[in-house]
Structure formats: C-alpha cells, structure tokens
Amino acid sequence: MSRRRNDSGLVALAWILNLAGLGSIVLVLGIYFATRSAQAAPAQQAKFTSAALLTSTPPSIYYLPTVTRNPRSTQIVVETPTPFVLPSGFHAPTIGYSVSGRPIELYTFGNGKKQRAIVAGIHGGYEWNTIALADQLILYLNDHPEVVPDNVTLYVVRNLNPDGDARDHGIDGRVNDHGVDLNRNFPINWVKEWDRDNCWDMAPTTSGTSPGSEPETRALMAFLLDQDIEALISYHSAALGIFPGGEPWEKNSIRFAKDIKKVSTYPFPPLDIGCTYTGTLADYAVSLGAAAVDMELTDHKRTDFDMNLKVLNVLLTWKP
C-alpha cells in the first residue's frame, strides 16, 4: 500500500511538471509570435487632414532670428513696400496666418473644374521678387480675366512667408519667425537635418521640429487637401532652373517642366549643385496628385514678368 501511494505521488508530480513545461512553451511561443507580428507591422505615418491642420498649434520653443542685421546680408531696396491691394480695394480672403499673425492671402481667378495654383514668397524677403511677380500676375489677371479658360480655376498664394518678407529683404528674410525654411517643412521626404554642403547655408535655418510643424506650412497643406490641384508652380529665386516634384522626379511633373522650358529661358534640367532638397512644397503637391515644379527666377531682383506671362499660359492650358 505504501509503495502504491508513493507511485501515485510521483505520477501526479510528473503530470504537474509536464503541464508547467507545456504552459511555459505556450507562453514563449506567444511572446515570440507577438514580437514577430510587431516587427512585421508597417510603420505608421502621421496622417494629415485639413481640419486637424487648421486647429493645430505651432511649437512654443524655436529659434527667432536676431534683429541685428547679419553682416553677410545685402539689403534690397523695394520700390513699393506698402501692402498689396487691388485698385478696386478688394482684400483677398486668407487661408491662415503666419507665426506672428500676418495673413496668408489667396486670390482666385475663374470658376472651372480644372484647378491650377501658384505659390510665391515661400522664402519671404530673401526671394521678395517672387512676391512682386505674384502681385504683377494678380493685377494682370484682374485686368484680363478672359485669359483664364472657362474650365479652369487658378489660385494664387502671393506670399506664404509674410514674416520673413517683413523682417528683411536679404538673407535674414528667408525663414519664418520660428527660424524654419518652409520649403523643407512639408511632410513628404522631410528630414530633421540634412547635409549642408552645397546647400543654402548663409544664416541659421531648420526644417522645423517635425513635418508640417509650421502654421504657414499647415495652412497651405489644409488648403491643398481641400482642392484637386492638377498643376502647381512654386516660385523661387534665383537662377538654378526648373525642379520637378517627386523623388525621383514624377513623370507628369517632368513633362510640365519641359513645357515651361519651351517658353522660357529657365534651365531644364536644372543646375545640379550637389544639394539634396527635402520636405519641399513640390514633393508634397505631387503626393496629392498634382504635377508640380519649384521654379527659380533669373536673379533676386527681376520678376521676368513678360516671360512668366507665357509660363502662366502653359499653367492654365496644360493637360495632365
């Protein structure tokens, strides 16, 4: 009887050890497959909606350019520093506000289903002549509304960086009032830091604390998300040429750039100075389905107005 009881105890102990071992194996396998699933899951990217963009707040810690003029800056004298207003007194609606509360104005011409856009002043006062060109085009379109085809709507954002424009018409006017280069702040191909060799590096600048961190960027993103833009020109200066959006360049944007080249002296392919461009408006517009180009004027003073009337016609009549 004693031996049977001992055997029963040993059997029970064996079953307990077996069950404990099996449980451990199941636990280990569960942890293993859970880890593999987590590793295999695709990385989640931030999703932007127009409503979220308009209700977001800018970062509270930032670099604000000094009011002391940078010794490397060359001041550009502008003939008409007064606010731009059409002769009729019409004030354009705004799509948002800058860091310091200046309005970002939107002018609209035509009422067709095919939507086109021009954005100027992304680099503020450093590229002030792009704003001057936008003003010339707005005045021309106001006087000649017939140049916009019946099936087209044209949007013109005349000055995306009004704070930079107000601060300085020189290198200190390039960034917004958070010290950010807005053309490196869009969420497509955005990087926090980039190789500054061969890139613009005449004054302190950042790409923002995160993709789309700036109120100016987010205002334009919100506007574009609510539209169906087929073709977009982002004006810059100076001299490097026409840069199609996309990484690598998107095929429709290449075709758009080639058509602009046919009526202008702007180089295409653009001059390659070895700089890597990240977080650009053109790349973002391409991500939304538009053909888009960053296009540089001849220098930092002229608007090339007559030539850009021909470019305007390409934009208005271009077929995707």
Q: Please tell me the distance from the alpha carbon of residue 244 to that of residue 160, in angstroms, as a whole number.
A: 20
Q: What integer pLDDT is reported at residue 144 of this predicted model?
A: 97
Residue 45 lies in a domain: no
Q: What integer pLDDT is reported at residue 89 of this predicted model?
A: 81
Query: Using an 8 Å Cβ cutoff, are 116 and 232 in contact?
Result: yes
Q: Are residues 110 and 167 in the same domain?
A: yes
Query: Using an 8 Å Cβ cutoff, are 127 and 301 in contact?
Result: no
Q: Are residues 145 and 217 in the same domain?
A: yes
Q: Is the pTM of this model over 0.85?
A: no
Q: Please tell me the distance from the alpha carbon of residue 48 to that of residue 121, in angstroms, as a whole number.
A: 23
Q: Please tell me the distance from the alpha carbon of residue 205 to that of residue 207, in angstroms, as a whole number.
A: 7
Q: What integer pLDDT is reported at residue 9 of this predicted model?
A: 62
Residue 59 lies in a domain: yes
pLDDT tens by residue, the chain, 320 residues: 444 455 566 656 566 666 666 666 656 555 555 444 433 333 334 578 877 786 545 444 444 544 455 555 555 444 444 568 888 888 899 999 999 999 999 999 999 999 999 999 999 999 999 999 999 999 999 999 999 999 999 999 999 999 999 999 999 999 999 999 999 999 999 999 999 989 999 999 999 999 999 999 999 999 999 999 999 999 999 999 999 999 999 999 999 999 999 999 999 999 999 999 999 999 999 999 999 999 999 999 999 999 999 999 999 999 99
Q: Are residues 18 and 86 in the same domain?
A: no
Q: What integer pLDDT is reported at residue 112 of this predicted model?
A: 98
Residue 104 lies in a domain: yes
Q: Please tell me the distance from the alpha carbon of residue 71 to that of residue 253, in angstroms, as a whole number.
A: 38
Q: Are residues 185 and 140 in the same domain?
A: yes
Q: Are residues 200 and 242 in the same domain?
A: yes
Domain limits at 67? 50-317
Q: Are residues 205 and 312 in the same domain?
A: yes
Q: Are residues 161 and 233 in the same domain?
A: yes
Residue 20 lies in a domain: yes
100 exposure class (CB count in 10 Å sphere: 0-12, 13-18, 19+): middle
Residue 71 lies in a domain: yes
Closest CA to 99 of 185, 39, 180: 180
CATH code for the domain in which residue 62 is found: 3.40.630.10
Q: Are residues 22 and 67 in the same domain?
A: no
Q: Are residues 31 and 79 in the same domain?
A: no
Residue 295 lies in a domain: yes
Q: Determine the number of helices (DSSP H) and then strands (DSSP E) in the chain.
A: 8, 7
Residue 288 lies in a domain: yes
Which residue in the block uniquely carries the two structure tokens 């070895």?
Answer: 274
Q: Structural domain tally of the chain?
A: 2
Q: Are residues 6 and 119 in the same domain?
A: no
Query: Using an 8 Å Cβ cutoff, are 242 and 270 in contact?
Result: yes
Q: Are residues 64 and 3 in the same domain?
A: no
Q: What residues have CB less than 8 Å from 9, skipping those under 6 apart?
A: none
Residue 44 lies in a domain: no
